[in-house]
Amino acid sequence: MAWYTWLCRLGLGLAGLTLLFVLTLRARAWQDAPEMTLTEQIARDVQLIHAAEAEKLPELDMGRLWAQLGAHDEEAAEFTKSEEAYNRALAILENLPGAALEYAATLDNLGSLYLSEGNFDAAEKCRERAYRIREQSGDGLAIARGKWMLAEVDMGRKRFKDAQRKASEAYAAMIALKDPRITDRISILTLLAYASCRNNQCTLGLESAREARALALRELPPDDIHLGKALMALGYAQWKAGTASQPDGPEGAMREGIRILRPRATPGHPYVLEALTMYANYLRDAHRVTEANQVVEEERALRSRVANVCSNCTVSVYGLRMR
């Protein structure tokens, strides 16, 4: 059943699973649905939190539920609500025994939110603190993921050489440690493609992008959002490597990437906006100005639909404090 798979993905303990089994049976609106819209996922998260609070679920499980809500709000471009949910999760997880890595992961997610808003200072503070926690754990895969998170900040700050180095180190560690998370490996390869090209090493960028696409095609369902992002990275690398005139050139990859991303990301979400901006820039570079302007108009229309831009977000104290 879909609800059981979801609960397992949360990583809840046996007691939490037992209790949430009862809570889920009460929430029949989602019990038998094979898939849910993002709005339905958020409604489910809120209902589970209310029910879990009433049943006094253990604090660790409560922290996980708030973090899950934060991730879904962020995906829905409800950035103010996402920040609030992440802060609730961090407040719960901060001093719990055995929860250091989950605390770090939530800090990294909060950093992702700030990156989406272009608040690089706040994102870097969150992720640097998370990385210190990961280092203290001695967990090799956790440390590798922390390097990947820092590489994303370096990309935002245009420190492309640093981004390429950290992403390369993170990917090498994940391969050596046989990381089972395929989507993480695809994401790092995608990041490597952009970082390498921006560091004037587009041959390496092309290799990373092609590997990301091949891994996504082999391991993920058709039209998975990670495939869409890998295709955009491939199109970018092909464009910057000067392969636009070849049959397997950048336009096909970019158009297919946008086709996948459009229905799988909230209108106005950075995934879609960045993809459209990239494609418009490619069209301008190819002197196809009329088509580029049409893409820009679509981007503007989607940007205007962002429901809740986090322009008034305050930088979380959890990203500023030292641990």
Q: Which tokens go with 41? A: 């996922």
What is the predicted pLDDT for the residue at 247?
A: 63
pLDDT at 322: 32
Q: Which residue has the tokens 């094979």?
A: 34
Give the residue, 62 or 322, on which the prediction is more confident: 62
pLDDT-derived band of residue 130, with 50, 70 and 90 as boundaries?
very high
For the stretch 78-90, pLDDT in tens is: 889 999 999 999 9
CB atoms within 10 A of CB 117: 17
For 195-217, write each residue's pLDDT tens digit. 999 999 999 999 999 999 999 99
Closest listed residue to residue 275, CA positions, set 252, 293, 259, 297: 259
pLDDT(27) > 50: no
Q: 116 falls in which pLDDT band (50, 70, 90)?
A: confident
| Cβ atoms of 253 and 229 closer than 8 Å | no
Average pLDDT over residues 216-235: 95
| Overall fold of domain 153-240 | 1.25.40
Q: pLDDT > 90: what percent of the chain?
A: 68
CB 242 within 8 A of CB 196: no
Q: Which residues lie closer than 8 Å to 103 by C-beta, 6 or more apart?
A: 90, 93, 94, 96, 130, 133
- One-letter amino acid identity for 49? I
Give the mean pLDDT of the chain: 84
- The 10s digit of each residue's pLDDT in 277-321 is 999 999 999 999 999 999 999 888 887 765 444 444 444 544 444
Residue 251 pLDDT more than 80? yes
The reply to whether 1-138 and 153-240 are identical in fold is yes
- Report helix, strand or coil for 254: helix
**Alpha carbon 86 to chain centroid distance?**
14
Separation of alpha carbons 285 and 75, rounded Å: 31
Residues 30, 10: contact at Cβ < 8 Å? no
- CATH no. for 1-138: 1.25.40.10
> CA Rg, the chain, in Å?
20
pLDDT (mean) for 189-194: 97
What confidence score (pLDDT) does residue 278 get? 95
Query: What is the rounded average pLDDT of the residues 120-141?
Result: 96
* pLDDT category of residue 253 using cuts at 50, 70 and 90: very high
The answer to whether the CB of 192 falls within 8 A of the CB of 170 is: no
Q: What confidence category does residue 245 fall into, taking pLDDT thresholds of 50, 70 and 90?
A: low
Q: Poorest-confidence range of 24-33, 150-159, 201-210, 252-261?
A: 24-33
Q: If pLDDT is split at 50, 70 and 90, which confidence band does 31 have? A: very low
Comparing 106-110, 155-159, 199-203, 310-314, the range with the smallest average pLDDT is 310-314
Are the CB atoms for 93 and 102 separated by under 8 Å?
A: yes
78 forms beta bridges with 308
Domain ranges (residues) in the chain:
1-138, 153-240, 265-309
User: What integer pLDDT is reported at residue 81 of this predicted model?
Assistant: 94
CA distances to 100, 102, 225, 267 from 261, rounded to whole Å, are 33, 28, 6, 10
Q: How confident is the model at residue 96 (pLDDT cuts 50, 70, 90)?
A: very high
- Residue among 276, 266, 312, 272 nearest 71 (CA): 266
Percentage of the chain modeled with pLDDT above 70: 81
Least Cα distance to 258 among 223, 214, 207 occurs for 223
**Are the C-beta atoms of 156 and 175 separated by less than 8 Å?**
no
